[in-house]
């Protein structure tokens, strides 16, 4: 845990507002790419959009709660940074998935790296060295 804490402590967002703005911008891009994909495939459904927007709202609330705890209760800033980086990663994975569905070629090394990181997050692993790949693009346990 100390390595992760050190890494997150050393993340520098240049301006404190970027810790909120970058995830929000990525969320907007994700919504846009998702809507375009749904429109292109003829699957644009308002209930699915409401569900997705509800999740985005929840992610934004996590960031606001993190900001309240960091600024108001003097919690360590790496907690908010961890929330922000986690949300940024989720959004980048989702954006790439949407782009792939739209036919945009994603380089295999990026696709494999995103799959591996997504596997780590989905399985709750905190040690990236545990993920091994046998070349089929899917992490082994």
Name the residue ranges covered by the structural domains of the chain: 2-105, 107-141
Check if the beta carbon of residue 6 is closer than 8 Å to that of residue 67: no
Rounded distance between C-alpha atoms, residue 112 and residue 136, angstroms: 9
Kindly report, residue by residue over 23-76, the tens digit of the pLDDT: 999 999 999 999 999 999 888 888 888 888 899 999 999 888 888 888 888 877
Kindly report, residue by residue over 61-114, the tens digit of the pLDDT: 988 888 888 888 887 777 888 888 889 988 998 898 899 889 999 888 888 887
Check if the beta carbon of residue 11 is closer than 8 Å to that of residue 84: no
Rounded distance between C-alpha atoms, residue 141 and residue 131, angstroms: 7
């Amino acid at each position: 845990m100390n390595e992760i804490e050190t890494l997150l402590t050393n993340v520098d967002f240049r301006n404190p507002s970027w810790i909120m703005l970058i995830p929000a911008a990525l969320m907007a891009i994700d919504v846009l790419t998702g809507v375009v994909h749904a429109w292109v495939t003829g699957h644009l459904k308002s209930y699915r959009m409401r569900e997705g927007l509800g999740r985005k709202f929840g992610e934004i609330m996590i960031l606001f709660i993190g900001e309240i705890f960091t600024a108001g209760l003097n919690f360590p800033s790496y907690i908010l940074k961890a929330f922000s980086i986690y949300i940024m990663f989720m959004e980048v994975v989702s954006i790439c998935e949407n782009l792939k569905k739209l036919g945009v070629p994603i380089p295999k090394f990026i696709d494999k790296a995103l799959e591996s990181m997504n596997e780590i997050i989905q399985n709750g692993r905190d040690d990236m060295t545990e993920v091994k790949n046998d070349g089929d693009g899917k992490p082994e346990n």
